[in-house]
Amino acid sequence: METLLLSFGAIFLAEMGDKTQLVALAFATRFRPGVVLAGVAAATLVVHLLSVAIGEVLGVTLPRVWVAVLAGVAFIAFGLWTLRGDTLEGENPGQRRARFGPFLTVAVAFFLAELGDKTMLATVTLAGQLRDAVPVWLGSTVGMVAADGIAVVAGVVAGRRIPEKAVKLVAAGLFIVSGLWLLLGAALNQQ
C-alpha cells in the first residue's frame, strides 16, 4: 500500500504543469470530460506499464546503491524540469479535427505526448527503486489520471485558471527535496 501511495503522489506532482496535463485541458475544451478522462486513462495504463517494465529491468540489473543515486539525481532533475515548465508547441491539440472519434484521438495524442515525458521517466525511476511493479503501475496511473482530471475540470470551467506558478514551485520543491533525501540515504548506506 505504501508503494501505491508513494507512486500516486510522485506522479500526481510530476504531472502538475506538464505538457500532457495541458493536452488534457485542451481536449476538455472540445470533447466531453468523461471521454477525455477515458482516453487519458487508457493511454496512461499502457505507457506506465511499459515504464514499470523498464524500471524493473533496471532495478534488477543495477546495484541498489546506484539505483538510489540515479533515482536521487533523476528526482532533482524532475524538480528542475518542473520549474522550467512545459508548453505545447505548434497546433493546439484540442482544436484539431478528430478523425478517429474523440476517445481514440485523445488516447493516441496522449500516448504519444507521454512517451519520454518526465512522468514516464519518473515511473521508470520509481519501478527501479521500489521493485514492486503492480503497485507502482497502478499508483502512477491513478496519480496521472487524477492530476489530468484537475486539468479536465479546469478546461470545462471557462474563465478559471489553476495558479500554475504556485503548483510548479511546490511540485518542484518536493521533487528536489526527495532527490536530495535519496542521495543522502545512498551516501549513508555506503559508509
Please identify which residue in the block is written with the cell numbers 518542484.
Answer: 172
Asked if the model's pLDDT at residue 84 lies above 70, the reply is yes
Listed ranges 5-9, 31-35, 58-62, 114-118; the one with the highest mean pLDDT: 5-9
C-alpha cell at 131: 521493485
Residue of higher predicted confidence among 73 and 175: 73
Question: What is the percent of the chain with per-residue pLDDT over 70, rounded to a whole number?
Answer: 80
What's the pLDDT band for 149 if we cut at 50, 70, 90? very high
pTM, two decimals, is 0.69
Cα distance between residue 191 and residue 184, in whole Å? 11
Cβ pair 75, 67 in contact under 8 A: no
Q: What percent of the chain is predicted at pLDDT more than 90? A: 27
Overall average pLDDT of the 58-65 stretch? 77
DSSP 23-34: HHHHHHTTS-HH
Buried-state track 81-102, b at ≥16 Cβ within 10 A, e below 16: bbbeebeeeeeebbeeebeeeb
Q: Calculate ∠ Cα 171-173-176, nearest 5°.
A: 110
Inter-residue contact 183 to 69 (CB < 8 Å): yes
Task: Give the pLDDT score at 19.
Answer: 74
Query: Once rounded to an integer, what is the mean pLDDT over residues 151-159?
Result: 71
Residue 146 corresponds to which cell in the numbers above? 487524477
Write down the pLDDT at residue 86.
54
Q: What angle (nearest 5°) sits at the alpha carbon of residue 22, between those of residues 101 and 130?
A: 100
Range name among 68-72, 83-87, 142-146, 170-174 with the lowest pLDDT average: 83-87
Q: What is the mean pLDDT of the chain?
A: 80
| Number of helices (H), then strands (E), in the chain | 8, 0
- Chain segment 29-44, per-residue pLDDT in tens: 778 889 999 999 999 9
Would you say residue 94 has pLDDT above 60?
Answer: no
Closest CA to 128 of 82, 175, 85, 73: 73
Provide mean pLDDT across the span 65-72: 74
Q: Mean pLDDT, to the nearest integer, of 170-184?
A: 76
HEC profile for 171-191? HHHHHHHHHHHHHHHHHHHHC
